[in-house]
Amino acid sequence: MPSPGRWVAYVVPACAALATCFVPASVAPADDKPKLPQAPRFPFGEEQAKTFRDDYAKAAGLPREVTNSVGMKLVLVPPGNFEMGPNGSTYRVTLAKPFHAGVTEVTLGQYRKFKAGHNVEGADDEFNEDDRPAAMVSWDDARAFCAWLSAQDDEKKAGRMYALPTEAQWEWAARAGTSTSRHFGETDKEQAKFSWFNATYTPNPKNEAKGRGRQPVGKLPPNAWGLHDTLGNVWEWCGDRRTDEATGEARDPVMRGGSWRSGAFHCTAVAHDPGSPGTKGDNIGFRVVCTVAAGAK
């Protein structure tokens, strides 16, 4: 029984003339929704990142990992705020909503389900295997893939909508809680352990040949969120494109993360390269993000 004096008033339509009915506080409606955990103070370490991701997934009722209808694996990236940009030119960014990000860059095998027979012309056969990241894909092409994937019946039933990451989403995902230019440190000392890049700093071949080119995805260690190849392998398109109708200004979209043709300087969480929406290259691909409905599997 509730203690004396602890009574809560509710207006109940069933009561005569909408009179005020009194019920004990012990039976008053309660909010059982779990409280979402707050992001650790930026920057934070690998174990904090993993714990925060797992706790957020549980509290929000979101799957920590998803495998979609084209065999693509995605992992939850929780919301938070961080200092975006290179040292000396950073600004505070808040991401209020979680999203799922592709564990790897979109592969040729996955992209061919959208565009059958897609190949990188001039590349040795090994570089057109299904496990290599898709390349020769423009910003327009990548957005079209996201629209196609979102329209698939299994994806619609699961409540998944796909897009290219914004620059803020991309950098938050690539940093995985770190404030250094690379998720594994500030310098390129361990660059070869975590990314495919022009490690020898020798002139790049005209086409992918003799082992030099895109490498199979997911072979190198991931960052704390569980994302592979955020740095190197292929540049990754971002979805936002700056426009201003009032002034008529329009800027090219950008790609992030560097590629197999890049030196270590460009394989960082802050490097970016602009390109027109139709730009293509054997070192340009993309990664997707998606929103997932709570309770989805």
**What pLDDT shows up at residue 194?**
96
Going residue by residue through the chain (297 aa), what tens digit of pLDDT does each one get? 444 444 444 444 443 343 433 334 444 445 566 799 999 999 999 999 999 999 999 999 999 999 999 999 999 999 999 999 988 899 999 999 999 999 999 999 999 999 999 999 999 999 999 999 999 999 999 999 999 999 999 999 999 999 999 999 999 999 999 999 999 999 999 999 999 999 999 999 999 999 999 999 999 999 999 999 999 999 999 999 888 889 999 999 999 999 999 999 999 999 999 999 999 999 999 999 998 766 555
Residue boundaries of the structural domains of the chain = 63-291
**What pLDDT shows up at residue 221?**
97
**What pLDDT shows up at residue 13?**
44
**What pLDDT shows up at residue 32?**
65
Distances (CA, A) of 218 to 107, 160, 277: 10, 23, 27
**What pLDDT shows up at residue 34?**
77
**What pLDDT shows up at residue 242?**
83
Q: What is the pTM of this model?
A: 0.87
Candidates 3.10.20.30, 3.30.450.90, 3.40.50.1820, 3.90.1580.10; CATH matching 63-291: 3.90.1580.10
**What pLDDT shows up at residue 295?**
59
**What pLDDT shows up at residue 11?**
41
Residue type at 264 in one-letter notation: A
**What pLDDT shows up at residue 2?**
45
**What pLDDT shows up at residue 25?**
42
| Sequence-separated (6 or more) residues with CB below 8 Å from residue 51 | none
